[in-house]
Amino acid sequence: MAHRTLELPPAEAVGTRSLTGSEAVAHAIRQIDPDVMAVYPITPQTPIIEMVARFVADGRATTQIINAESEHSAMSAAVGAALAGARSMTATSSQGLALMIEVVYIAASMRAPIVMAVANRALSGPINIHCDHSDSMLARDSGAVQIFAENAQEAYDFMVMAPRLAEHPDVLLPVMICQDGFTISHSAEPVSLLADDAVRSFVGEYRVPYPLLDVGRPTTHGPFAMPDYYFELKRRQGDAMDALAHVWCDVAGDFAGVSGRPYGLHEAYRLDDADRAIVVLGSTAGTVKDVVDELRCSGERVGLLKITGFRPFPERSIAAGLSGVRSVAVLDRALSPGGPAPLLAMMAAALYGMPVALRSYVYGLGGRDLGLDHIRRVFTELKVARGRSAVRYLGLRD
Amino acid sequence: MIEIRWHGRGGQGAKTVSQLWAAALLEAGKWVQAFPEYGPERSGAPVQAYNRSDDSAIRRRAAVTSPDVVVVLDPSLLAEVDVTAGLDPGGLLLVNTEESVSAVRERVGFEGRIVCVPGDRLAIGAGATKANVVVAGALAKALGDPPVATLKEGARIALGGKLSPAALATTVAAIEAGYGAVSAGRCVPVSRTPRADGPTRGLKRYRDLAVGAVVAAGTAGRTRTGGWRTGQRPDVELRRCINCLLCWVYCPDSAVELSDEVVFVGFDYDLCKGCALCVEACPTGAIAMVAESPALRPGLAPQGK
Amino acid sequence: MPSLKTMARRERRQSRFQGGHSLCRGCGVPIAVRAVLNSIETPVVVVNATGCLEVATTRYPATAWNVPWLHVAFENAAAAASGVETAYRALRRRGALPVDGPMTFVVFAGDGGTYDIGLQALSGALERGHRLLYVCYDNEAYMNTGIQRSSATPFGASTSTSPAGLESFGKLERRKDITAIVVAHHIPYVAQASISHWQDLSDKVARATSMDGPAFINVLTTCQLGWGHEPRLAIRIARLAVETCFWPLYEVVHGRYRLTEGPLRKLPIEAWLRPQARFSHLFAPENRRWLAEIQPQVDREWEDLLARCALDASASDAAREPPP
């Protein structure tokens, strides 16, 4: 393999610089300096693990990297390391997440607080390397927390927050920090980094309640549960996800104190007096914001509800945020063949009983671009929306 | 609708006999269900199987929690499992045992009808290896249904593909032996009091479970597997023991007890499953299997919670 | 070399694996587990693949394990153990272990979890060089799910997915040479052992855990249900596998093959096949020709192994001789 030199900013530099989403996340990992990172390369996540490997090779991070022979093993090793008592991370995309998925469910049930950097990418087939959210949707019911970033700054910020979310004693769950593949992961834009010391003191020490390596207090992890206990154990696991909402408030509050950047599990953008709104995940929210501003200039009462917390889904605050809106368009970057698209289904449940028209749009599969025109069209169609309508496809050659 | 619960040990054919029973009742024009309970237990562990039968289609898939009939294939289970759980006093308890009805009644505290059949002895007499079909024969007689000919036909249907003609003939003989061994009776469906929380009664609430299903180490020792023995236990003649420890190293159940000076002192009958590997391993012939009465079998005291 | 007394003292001090589990009467697996765990001096951490051992020893909320124990899934025991071992190194380096000191990481996996579904994770862990002792308890089929054939199932064995019938004599294929596959990873220690030979097994565990790198021991482990024999015959049948040279006891230390216990006299393979119901159909007249194929297979493998051992012995002798 040809030697490549990655251009790395000096460690002590703090401030705003131009970074891709991958680089921003890799810097967060360097600053957190987890004990173990178990990885396997896959586009478009690979730049993250390459950069972390370079940091370690140059002595700028002390993380033990496990170059696993598959994502399944990478996630399995992360579970072993996390439960052993070491702060553990991994990174993946698409087929890699698909291969991991068995272990993601198990990690959540074993309450392994693994931070997972995800660069979202379409699932095969056909094989495609570009962005959509089908990989995250595959993990929807796994029990892992899923936080979606709109841009590189959010990807960095959420990554810094992730250990505290994952490791909170009421949570102890895998946390996926999702950024749109290529659109964010490979696009450079200004990112403001915190000082290394600030990150280290923000994340604190790693603690799990029953570290496997405590040979003086041996514990059995991963037992066999019959119908007499399985249900209770799964319900017990559900508490962890329920706890995340208040834990998010604490962690995001502390983070705002350090960074000056406050975050909620959703973002209401110009919704106060809106009669029409778009609901969307990830980088598309930025494009929608521009269209909202433009239409607002011409007096249209439109707004955006960006979903940051996909799991847990902040159902009540979303409903409250949309309480005055007459019609809502849900933009899904994934399909659920034979059923409503995933985000639409959740929104329909969240808005149940509210006098609001709901429109379903699917867009952007396999990296298909979503232009400003598409979004303008959605807002126009919302003017006449009544009740529920059949799904529409944005940017598809009909 | 008649609901039956079969109690056996893994390997005693509780599931097989429930399927045979269903095949026979189908022959008799009934609608039937037969289903076992699956768990991590291996041969020797307590297991359950169930039957339902009715004149019209059975659609319910819920567990059988208040059976009309309970059949116990291994008498040692009387001390290990709450066999009469959910059994109405109007129902029937049929036990494969050499004990008398009054002895069984005293042990289980059941006030209703109890029928005892010496199934093991009758099976041996018929040349069969398992008592399950003998007990099925006895059950048919005790319930008055199905007729023995139908039960035998059920055996041919359920087992014909698995057994040689000779083994099938033995099975049929065993059914007849069981049928002839008890007095005729009749089944009256009991009034059922459904118990929604049935088998999980008394277990911890979800809130009280440790995070991540973590279990504190070394708690299996409280599980008594001594009941898995099938009528024989190892016995040692200590003066012939040379303390070679081969019985210790080859015991799958950690049932060989040593002193602090690692000298052989005896067997832990709460744990010993009676595999006899120690007998095979012993170079001096100090260990032999001896018969034990199920009623007197150590390791069968009711478990503490 | 651990003696039985030493092993017994260790168990007396701390029973690392308890009775009260629900493995079958006369199961060979706990014999292997106890022999392995009682041959290790340091504290032990166990990682277990899904299988009989895992299911029957950890029915929630009870556990037979008195040492730290982890189960994640079927195919990933070696990967999960890689994570545990790496965490140990990371925490030890920064002085953050709950209890400091050396530890031994032991993986227990069946043949299905090793030869088949877990082979990739095993290969990865070996190549990465994690300091693990991987113990395969090889009972030659998927016993946990009801005796289905694996790639460890011997030629001719009848299993529920390779049943002997009118048109079949059981498994049509020969078992895979997992030892050779593992040896090809250039790890310091690989061995084949049997539950029948406790001293040989215990010595191998001691040597394996003294190595600075991955070690692999494949232990022949009986299954009375799957093999179809009286529970009490487990050790006798395991011993016959060794005495017929179906299962030679050997080790490969830094790539050099060495027999650790040779049979005094090699018994015909039928002596091992005959007491097992899974091979009983081979003795029917119509299957005799398949039965006849087995002895030459065993002979060939045994001769190859002897040749390999002789070659490696002379190579080490040559290495010791001073240059002319």
Domain hosting C51: range is: 4-320
- The predicted pLDDT at position B200 comes to 64
Kindly list the domain boundaries of chain B, sorted by start residue: 2-200, 220-296
Total CB pairs under 8 A between chain A and B: 58
- The answer to whether domain B2-200 has CATH 3.90.220.20 is no
| pLDDT score for C316 | 79
Point out the residue among C24, C63, C67 whose CB comes nearest to the CB of B219. C63
| pLDDT bracket for residue A15 (50, 70, 90) | confident
Taking CB atoms and an 8 Å cutoff, what residues of chain B touch C34? Answer: 249, 254
Residue whose structure tokens are 């106060």: A272
Give tens-digit pLDDT for C257-300: 999 998 778 999 999 999 999 999 999 999 999 999 999 999 99
**How far is C277 from C206, CA to CA, in rounded Å?**
35
Specify the CATH number of the domain A266-394: 3.40.50.920
Q: Does C72 touch chain A (CB under 8 A)?
A: yes
Ramachandran angles phi, psi of B150, nearest 5°: -70, -40
Calculate ∠ Cα A394-A396-A397, nearest 5°.
Answer: 140
Q: Between chains, do B218 and C15 touch, taking CB under 8 Å as contact?
A: yes
Cβ-based contacts under 8 A for chains B and C: 143
pLDDT band at B197 (very low <50, low <70, confident <90, very high): low
| B231 within 8 A of B96, measured Cβ to Cβ | no
Residues of B in contact with C195 (CB under 8 A): 250
Give the pLDDT score at C183. Answer: 98
Fold of A19-200+224-259: Rossmann fold (3.40.50)
Q: How far apart are CA C178 and CA C157, in angstroms?
A: 18
C86 in contact with chain B, both atoms CB, cutoff 8 A = no
Query: Residue B135 contacts by C-beta under 8 Å, 6 or more apart in sequence?
Result: B17, B71, B73, B94, B96, B117, B119, B178
Whether chain B has a CB inside 8 Å of the CB on A209: the answer is yes
The tens digit of pLDDT for each residue in B231-276 reads: 899 999 999 999 999 999 999 999 999 999 999 999 999 999 999 9
B199 confidence band (pLDDT: 50, 70, 90): low
CA distance A234 to A228: 12
Mean pLDDT on A309-334: 96
**Domain of C51: which CATH number?**
3.40.50.970
Q: ipTM, 2 decimals?
A: 0.96
CB atoms within 10 A of CB C239: 19
Angstrom CA distances, A119 to A106, A150, A178, C251, stand at 21, 12, 6, 46
Task: Give residue A298's pLDDT.
Answer: 97
Contact C115, C78 (CB under 8 A): no
CATH of segment(s) B220-296: 3.30.70.20
CB contact under 8 A, A224 and C54: yes
* Neighboring chains of A (3 or more beta-carbon pairs < 8 A): B, C
Picking from C322, C54, C44, C3, the residue whose alpha carbon sits closest to that of residue C209 is C44
Least Cα distance to A366 among A398, A336, A321, A333 occurs for: A333
- DSSP for chain B reads -EEEEEEEETTS-HHHHHHHHHHHHHHTT-EEEEEE---S--TTSEEEEEEEEESS-----S---S-SEEEES-TTHHHHS-TTTT--TTSEEEEE-SS-HHHHHHHH---SEEEEE-HHHHHHHHT-S-SHHHHHHHHHHHHT-S-HHHHHHHHHHHHTTTS-HHHHHHHHHHHHHHHHHS------PPPP---TTGGGTTSPPGGGSPGGG-EES--GGGS--GGG--SEEEEE-GGG-----HHHHT-TT--EEE-TT--EEEE-TTT-----HHHHH-TTS-EEEEE--GGG-TT-SPPP-
Alpha-carbon gap, residue A55 to B253, rounded angstroms = 51
Half-sphere exposure (Cβ direction) of A190: Cα atoms closer than 13 Å? 3
**What total number of domains does chain C contain?**
1
Report the C-alpha gap between B296 and B302 in whole angstroms. 13
B30-42, pLDDT tens digit by residue? 999 999 988 766 7
Q: Is A267 helix (H, G, I), strand (E, B) or coil?
A: strand
Give the model's pLDDT for residue B44: 81
List CB contacts of A246: < 8 A, sequence separation 6 or more.
Answer: none
Q: Which two tokens stand for residue C224?
A: 């009375």
Burial A127-160 (b: 16+ CB within 10 A, else e): ebbbbbbbbbbbbbebbbbbbbbbbbbbbbbbbb
When CB atoms are compared, the residue of B200, B213, B217 closest to A225 is B213
From the list A209, A224, A226, the residue facing B211 with the nearest CB is A209
